[in-house]
Amino acid sequence: MNSSHLGNLFPPVLSPLQLNRFSLFYSHSSLSSSTRILRATSRRLLIVAKAQSLSNMANHVVDLDQENFGSLKQQIAKIFEESLRLTVPDELDVEPAIASCQNPKFGDYQCNNAMGLWSKVKGKGTQFKGPQPIGQAIIKNLPSSEIIDSCSIAGPGFVNVVLSQKWIAKSIQRMLVNGIETWAPKLPVKRAVVDFSSPNIAKEMHVGHLRSTIIGDTLARMLEYSNVNVLRRNHVGDWGTQFGMLIEYLFEMFPNGQVNDQAIGDLEAFYKASKQRFDSDPAFKERAQQAVVSLQGGEERYRTAWTHICEISRRGYERVYERLGVELEEKGESFYNPYIPGALELLSKHGLIEESEGARVIFIEGKNIPLIVVKRDGGYNYASTDLAALWYRLNEEKAEWIIYVTDVGQREHFEMVFMAAKRAGWLPAEDNKYPKASHVGFGLVLGEDGKRFRTRSTETVKLVDLLDEAKSRCKTVLIERGKADEWTEEELDRTAEAVGYGAVKYADLKNNRTTNYTFNFDQMLNDKGNTAVYLLYAHARICSIIRRSGKDIEELKKVGTLELAHSDERVLGLHLLQFAEIVEEASTNLLPNVLCEYLYNLSEDFTRFYTNCQVVGSAEETSRLLLCEATAVVMRKCFHLLGITPVYKI
């Protein structure tokens, strides 16, 4: 599509990106697989490590000492890429298949190319007699690298890799000096839109908005850490027929036009009162419907009232976002409204839009119902708005990856929108090419009765009430532990917020997002097990160990040396070094719970190390303090990516 073809449909724009980047592990929009299957699959799928110039590989040596090359798995893939080129020079499309070893007694990583290569080369006059000789040749052709300590063959050609203990230690120490940003993974996109939260105007944010808000924030944070330019979009419901009844009710309540926040009071109650009038009073309903026409026609009085209602709602949302530490830029339904006619015209030119029973629709192959883009009364709907928004994000915002975070109930709607965009040529037909769009679906928040989480009066739980309760419970526990006598009121409040809000977030994020989960304060605020409270306390204990040593950790980073002589030290060190590939996996597959699992396992590895390896007062104190600090640094980055504020003392 070229802007010169658009006539007066849109403001001048650049062409949409038609990138043909390498594929991600698999389709991100699938909602049926469990986390275990997703992780097992992704660990065995190809790591795509496109060739960089080999001219600097003097004497057949791969130099991976540069900063921020990518994840550990990507670095290993780069080494095996050179070996594969020498082993099977005629097979140009071979990419390293690197996976972590499921059983550490065999090694740290595996290269699993031999079987696949044998199926390609047998019968072509190859020198190889089976997959195992191919595996042996892969080992023989490996370039010299300080990363790998040793390799061995297992089964039909699997190459087991043991990493250099010295290199692991050196890499961790380099991160301590240069910062954890040097461990950021490299993703195949530069700009992404993450569409999340998206509350409706004139309605308070409730527990149902919790999942979209914190899942979307975590996905945005992981992409941002991976050096992707993320456009955080809040697609609020600020347009539509409901505004007719709200505006008309506002005019009735305040005929002189003097309105303020206090006069309206509870917006939720205001909305319910206007809805009751709309349903019970035909004359009011008629005026409300006319008000929609006046609003959409741009009449100043109606626009002013609409703006005022939106602004009151916006201030309420912003208070919640501030408490959650979430940043968003609002581009609501009204923003995309001017782009709808042009977007539909482009779809019509492709022959996609048809007349059906008085409406204008797009028929999607494999779907029982069409995608309605213009209603019988000529009005627009969610589909028309979402298509215009998708066009805008591809053309104006030049996004390569557009991610929509909503409940699983909207999966089919977005599938149909994406399929329409593919038919129009806005998106490539192949799911593994860019630009692309992904729907991130999530399940329900349930009460302990197994039904939607509600108050005893069957009202939806307000998000502010939920956060207040979490903070209050944490503060009570801290006071019971005598912290009120040790800390200032500000410290008490700050810690209660960090732990309380963190507990709410983590209890959600640790679950596979596609499933429902039960909201339970007692479980999420437990200081044992896989909870934010346990993890925050674990971080605080590490900080306490470093303080108790009396050593200047910043000075130790400059003069000390990290060694991993004990087996538990090596296990912890390797786990730290795998942080980048975990962030890559969680980002690629849009699964925050992968990062949560890593964080919990990290704390368990640290506990094992600390139990078996004396730190303060030992001969290895300096090295082990550096390992403590590296663990704390990685934990803090995990907390940051999950939107959780760390605590440094308990």
What confidence tens digit (pLDDT) does each residue in 423-436 have?
999 999 998 899 99
Query: What is the C-alpha to C-alpha distance for residues 227 and 100, in angstroms, rounded to an integer?
Result: 25
Q: Is the pLDDT of residue 468 over 60?
A: yes
Report which secondary-structure segment, H or E, holds 249: helix 242-253
Residue type, 437: A
Query: What is the C-alpha to C-alpha distance for residues 168 and 165, in angstroms, rounded to an integer?
Result: 5
pLDDT at 262: 57
Averaged pLDDT for residues 163-182: 96
Peptide bond into 370 cis (omega under 30): no
Query: What is the C-alpha to C-alpha distance for residues 358 and 375, in angstroms, rounded to an integer?
Result: 8
Q: Which two tokens stand for residue 213?
A: 């808000």
157: exposed, middle or buried (C-beta count within 10 Å: 0-12, 13-18, 19+)?
Answer: buried
Query: What is the C-alpha to C-alpha distance for residues 166 and 491, in angstroms, rounded to an integer?
Result: 41
CA 457 to chain centre: 34
Query: What is the C-alpha to C-alpha distance for residues 429 and 422, in angstroms, rounded to an integer?
Result: 6
- Tens digits of residue pLDDT in 507-558: 999 999 999 999 999 999 999 999 999 999 999 999 999 999 999 999 999 9
pLDDT at 7: 35
Write the Ramachandran bin of 495: left for phi over 0, alpha for psi from -120 to 50, otherwise beta.
alpha
Q: Which two tokens stand for residue 569?
A: 């030290």
Task: Kindly give, in sequence order, each residue whose CB lies less than 8 Å from that of residue 230, ignoring residues fewer than 6 positions away.
Answer: 191, 192, 193, 194, 220, 223, 224
pLDDT at 448: 85
* Residue of 35, 29, 30, 69 whose CA lies nearest to 50: 69
Considering only residues 11 and 128, tell me which one the structure prediction assigns the higher pLDDT.
Answer: 128
With cut-offs at 50, 70 and 90, classify the pLDDT of residue 150.
very high
pLDDT at 291: 92
pLDDT at 261: 61
Token look-up 């944490």 returns: 474
pLDDT at 204: 82
pLDDT at 649: 87
With cut-offs at 50, 70 and 90, classify the pLDDT of residue 9.
very low
- Tens digits of residue pLDDT in 277-306: 999 999 999 999 999 889 988 899 999 999
Angle of the 300-324 helix axis to the 208-225 helix axis, nearest 10: 70
Within 10 angstroms of residue 276's Cβ, the number of other Cβ atoms is: 13
With cut-offs at 50, 70 and 90, classify the pLDDT of residue 263.
low
φ, ψ at 320 (rounded to 5°): -65, -45
| Contact between residue 434 and residue 398 where contact means Cβ atoms under 8 Å apart | no
Share of the chain above pLDDT 70, in %: 87
Q: Which two tokens stand for residue 623?
A: 């090295």
Residues in the chain: 650
Averaged pLDDT for residues 575-584: 97
Averaged pLDDT for residues 613-640: 98
Kindly list the strands in the beta sheet with 191-195, ordered across the sheet, starting from the edge strand earlier in the chain. 329-330, 229-234, 191-195, 401-407, 436-442
With cut-offs at 50, 70 and 90, classify the pLDDT of residue 606.
very high
Q: What is the secondary structure of 81-108 as a DSSP string? A: HHHHHHHSTT-TT----EEE-SSTTT-S
Helix (H, G, I), strand (E, B) or coil at 167: helix
Share of the chain above pLDDT 90, in %: 71
pLDDT at 354: 95
pLDDT at 264: 61
Query: What is the C-alpha to C-alpha distance for residues 418 and 437, in angstroms, rounded to an integer?
Result: 7
Within 10 angstroms of residue 456's Cβ, the number of other Cβ atoms is: 5
Helix (H, G, I), strand (E, B) or coil at 124: coil
| Contact between residue 483 and residue 503 where contact means Cβ atoms under 8 Å apart | no
Q: Which two tokens stand for residue 37?
A: 């299957």
Q: Which two tokens stand for residue 17?
A: 């990106």
Q: What is the secondary structure of 633-647 as a DSSP string? A: HHHHHHHHHTT----
Helix (H, G, I), strand (E, B) or coil at 494: helix
Q: Which two tokens stand for residue 226?
A: 């991976």
- Tens digits of residue pLDDT in 61-115: 444 444 446 789 999 999 999 999 999 998 878 999 999 998 888 999 999 999 9
| Contact between residue 562 and residue 173 where contact means Cβ atoms under 8 Å apart | yes
DSSP category for residue 367: -
Averaged pLDDT for residues 324-339: 95
* Residue of 93, 186, 185, 190 whose CA lies nearest to 435: 190
Task: Kindly give, in sequence order, each residue whose CB lies less than 8 Å from that of residue 337, ignoring residues fewer than 6 positions away.
Answer: 239, 380, 385, 388
Helix (H, G, I), strand (E, B) or coil at 182: helix
Helix (H, G, I), strand (E, B) or coil at 428: coil
pLDDT at 56: 33
Task: Kindly give, in sequence order, each residue whose CB lies less than 8 Å from that of residue 4, ignoring residues fewer than 6 positions away.
Answer: none
Report which secondary-structure segment, H or E, holds 477: helix 463-480
Q: Which two tokens stand for residue 401?
A: 């990856």
Q: Is the pLDDT of residue 26 over 60?
A: no
Query: What is the C-alpha to C-alpha distance for residues 532 and 523, in angstroms, rounded to an integer?
Result: 10
* Residue of 484, 478, 530, 529 whose CA lies nearest to 500: 478
End-to-end CA distance of the chain: 58
Task: Kindly give, in sequence order, each residue whose CB lies less than 8 Å from that of residue 171, ignoring residues fewer than 6 positions away.
Answer: 577
Averaged pLDDT for residues 372-380: 89
